[in-house]
Amino acid sequence: MRIQFWSFALLNIIFLTNQGLAQSAIKVSDTTNGTSIAPVEMESITILAPRKDIGQIAHLSGSEVLLREQEIKRFDQVDGNQLLQTLPGVYTQQEDGWGLRLNVGLRGTGVLRSSRVTLMEDGVLTSPAPYSSPSAYYTPAMWKYQNIEILKGSAQLITGPQTTGGAINMVTPVLDEKNDLRISTAWGNFGQNRHAIIGEFKIAPRTSVGIAFNQSGASGFKELYGKPVGGYLLRDGYLKVGHHLDDKDIHHLELVIAGTQERSNQTYLGLTLQDAISSPRKQYVGASHDSMFMDRIMGRFSYTMNLKKGWFRADVYRHQINRNWYKLDKVNTGNGFKGIATILENPEMYAEELLAIDGGGMDSAIGEIKANNREYYSQGIQFRSSITQHWSIAKLTHEAGLRLHSDGEDRFQWTDKYAMGKSLSLIAFGEKGAAGNRIDFAAAQSAYYRATFSYVGWTLQAGLRGEQIRAYRADFGNSNPERHENELTVRSNLTRVLLPGISLNKKLGNWIAFGGIHKGFTPAGSKEGVLPERSINTELGIRHANLPFQITGFSSSYDRLLGSDMAASGGTGTGDMFNGGAALVQGIEARIGFNWKGIEMSANATYTDARFTDSFNSDFEEWSSVSINDRLPYVPQLQGGFVLGYVHKGYQVFIQSVYQAERYSIVGLDNADLPAAWVHNVGTTYTFKKWSFKLSIQNILNTEHVVAARPAGYRLYAPRMVLATVTFEL
């Protein structure tokens, strides 16, 4: 009898029901000085929405970032890595140039597959399996968001599970009971095309429906035998139904159904450093069959109750993702099979294997293409609430949340063999399950409480978060495709943590000084004996109450650093977690801006000193042999951005410049192998009545610089991209 993925999901639900407690709330405060009252439906799904009716709550952190819709769409950046890199304290690594894989970190957490930050959509966890397999192989499409909220510092204790660097909450348009419709179409070089429709319709006195659909694609900017390759087709959309149960807007229901489909010719196979310099847009023949097939469906049902001095919200949610990334894994030219990362790291040692990858090898060369066939699920129920009490000039706000959650990843993988000549030809299909036949799943219960007390310019905020996580792995073995129970091995690991956090804010005229400290952690996975990563995180800063001016110093002291054996980092792909040594990340974030007679300017900069404070040896490809004072990989010491724009009536033009200092791809290099770079973007829009016409140019100087040395080999920044967009609004 084959044990199905769903049986483990059912076991998780039973486990949760028996042990339950849990979390979440993404309600916090406002430090944005908004002037309008946000509806409860918005307030309960966002981090930074203003609430003038109950008074603004000083955020536990002072360093949050709110990216609004006009900023998200200003340069038509389809790649979320490019978009988020412009923000203070946010580090990214471009991978495919189209944003199909999000690699983002906050305050030195590491960027690989965004596995060290909490990703949310409308206040609900959105990674495929945030506890059992946190790597974000599904990336939310940026086109549909009204706001993107970056939460750093102590306030992230209300989100979880990743509570060291921060959280990212992406907010879709809120139903506001109005009729509107926006249709856009865009075309550009490299076969770019984007077509979107988004709107809301009031179908009854208390009922509204929101729809959104986008299809985007490109033929690709890489070349193989003179033809474009590396393209993609992405379909993404959602349907929202909102209903008020009464005329006073006290009780509100919302149903959301969303889906995503990706078909792309993406690969783990990069280039040798020499080829990256001499032929930056080249793709090897060995990647010609590499492709990703991914389908996602999400459902969420929510209830919100608007109280006089607060709100209550409950969400029930489920995500289901099926994907198969079919990609070259190993090559054999008579000396045994060698992994592609090993070959590209040592091109002289493995010259024959590299020649086979490049399409010029002997006919006897064999390539193994692995079908990384996986199924993910993520589901749960969460309750969140906030209420404010007033006593003359004092105010106390209580916030609490519970979450019951389970998620899992089912690997059922195989490897096919191909003859490698000037093209690939199939030799034999692999046995299903022989390259991975296991289920990883987790049951998690979490809860938090936070109190905010304000009095005469002082604000004290203190909170506590608790997490209990039981992670499992059920391995059926590589020769058991039917998944018989007698060949099953099971392991599990239990994590329990309490995470306190406290901050103090003081208003000094038009300035606000703030500071905070909190304990952070990263879940340890299912391997017995592996302990969760711990950190102590502090920040101290000052910001202007009305102007976009802020300086923040931060420090994160890590203990028991967690590494993961992932193919995306050049490892074997087992996914096993393991403990390393200690590290210290310190830095300064700064941002400033102004608006004068149609001229807009904003700038930000982040200085980071991220170093190991312990010596140790590791199987993690990027760490290997670590010595005290070695720098953490993929963390630049300096990065920043500058935006200058002019807006007059229906016309606007913006210029953006983004800088990133050199980085190290692995520990112990004498010189950085990922060079510093400037990238410049331009966006200009003309609006006439219901029409708008937009021209955007990304990487206008066509900078060609190396941005990564993983998953296997070097990758370059996306080339100059020109896109023309026409939009019609009703």
Instruction: Provide, rounded to the nearest whole percent, the portion of the chain with pLDDT above 70.
Output: 90
Higher-pLDDT residue of 619, 572: 619
Helix, strand, or coil (residue 83): helix
Q: Are 154 and 516 in contact (CB under 8 A)?
A: yes
pLDDT of 102 strictly over 90:
yes
Tokens 């029409």, located at residue: 691
What pLDDT does residue 35 have? 34
Higher-pLDDT residue of 65, 278: 278
**Confidence tier at 61 by pLDDT (50, 70, 90):** low
Q: Report CA 191 to chain centroid distance, whole Å.
A: 26
- How far is the C-alpha of 15 from the C-alpha of 627, rounded, in Å? 43
pLDDT of 15 strictly over 60:
no
Closest CA to 315 of 302, 297, 334: 302
pLDDT by residue (tens digit) across 381-409?
999 999 999 998 899 999 999 999 999 99
What pLDDT does residue 683 have? 96
pLDDT of 3 strictly over 90:
no
Instruction: Provide, rounded to the nearest whole percent, the portion of the chain with pLDDT above 90.
Output: 73
What pLDDT does residue 566 have? 61
pLDDT of 39 strictly over 80:
no
Q: How far is CA 187 from CA 219, 644, 656, 679, in A?
A: 12, 25, 21, 22
Q: Are 33 and 464 in contact (CB under 8 A)?
A: no
Q: Are 229 and 249 in contact (CB under 8 A)?
A: no
Helices (H) and strands (E) in the chain, counts: 7, 40
pLDDT by residue (tens digit) across 438-471?
999 999 999 999 999 999 989 999 999 999 999 9
Q: How far is CA 246 from CA 179, 277, 301, 386, 439, in A?
A: 20, 65, 18, 21, 45
- How far is the C-alpha of 634 from the C-alpha of 631, rounded, in Å? 9
Closest CA to 160 of 402, 360, 430, 473: 402
Q: How far is CA 76 from CA 126, 146, 206, 241, 351, in A?
A: 23, 14, 35, 28, 41
Question: Looking at residues 558-569, what average pLDDT do you find?
Answer: 72
Q: Are 404 and 16 in contact (CB under 8 A)?
A: yes
Question: Looking at residues 518-533, what average pLDDT do you find?
Answer: 89
pLDDT of 518 strictly over 60:
yes
- How far is the C-alpha of 568 from the C-alpha of 210, rounded, in Å? 37
What's at 645, amino acid-wise?
G
Question: Looking at residues 262-269, what average pLDDT do you find?
Answer: 96
Closest CA to 338 of 364, 319, 356: 356
Question: Looking at residues 25-39, what average pLDDT do you find?
Answer: 36
What pLDDT does residue 623 have? 80
pLDDT by residue (tens digit) across 126-139?
999 999 998 888 88
Q: Is the dihedral of CA 452, 453, 456, 457 positive or negative?
A: negative
Burial of 496 (0-12, 13-18, 19+ CB in 10 A): exposed
Domains and CATH numbers, the chain: 5-729 (2.40.170.20)
What lies within 8 Å, CB to CB, of 101 at 6+ separation is: 95, 113, 136, 137, 139, 266
Phi/psi at 403 (5° precision): -140, 130
Higher-pLDDT residue of 46, 628: 628
What pLDDT does residue 635 have? 93
What pLDDT does residue 24 have? 31
Helical (H) or strand (E) element with 345: helix 340-345
Q: If you average pLDDT over every residue of the chain, what do you get? A: 88
Q: Is the dihedral of CA 458, 518, 545, 159 positive or negative?
A: negative
**Residue 75 in tokens:** 């340069």
**Residue 509 in tokens:** 């005229």
- How far is the C-alpha of 515 from the C-alpha of 513, rounded, in Å? 7
Q: Is the dihedral of CA 569, 571, 576, 577 positive or negative?
A: negative
Q: Are 315 and 124 in contact (CB under 8 A)?
A: yes
What pLDDT does residue 162 have? 92
Most confident of 17-31, 416-430, 553-567: 416-430
Write the DSSP assignment of 510-570 as a string of letters.
TEEEEEEEEEEEE---SSTT---EEEEEEEEEEEESSSS-EEEEEEEEEES-EEE--GGGT
Lowest mean pLDDT segment, chosen from 176-180, 326-330, 359-363, 627-631: 359-363
Q: How far is CA 73 from CA 48, 139, 259, 395, 684, in A?
A: 19, 17, 21, 38, 11
pLDDT by residue (tens digit) across 282-340?
999 999 999 999 999 999 999 999 988 899 999 999 999 999 999 999 999 999 999 99
- How far is the C-alpha of 582 from the C-alpha of 532, rounded, in Å? 13
**Confidence tier at 110 by pLDDT (50, 70, 90):** confident
Q: Are 311 and 304 in contact (CB under 8 A)?
A: yes
What pLDDT does residue 354 have? 96
- How far is the C-alpha of 154 from the C-alpha of 258, rounded, in Å? 31
Lowest mean pLDDT segment, chosen from 8-12, 210-214, 295-299, 578-582: 8-12
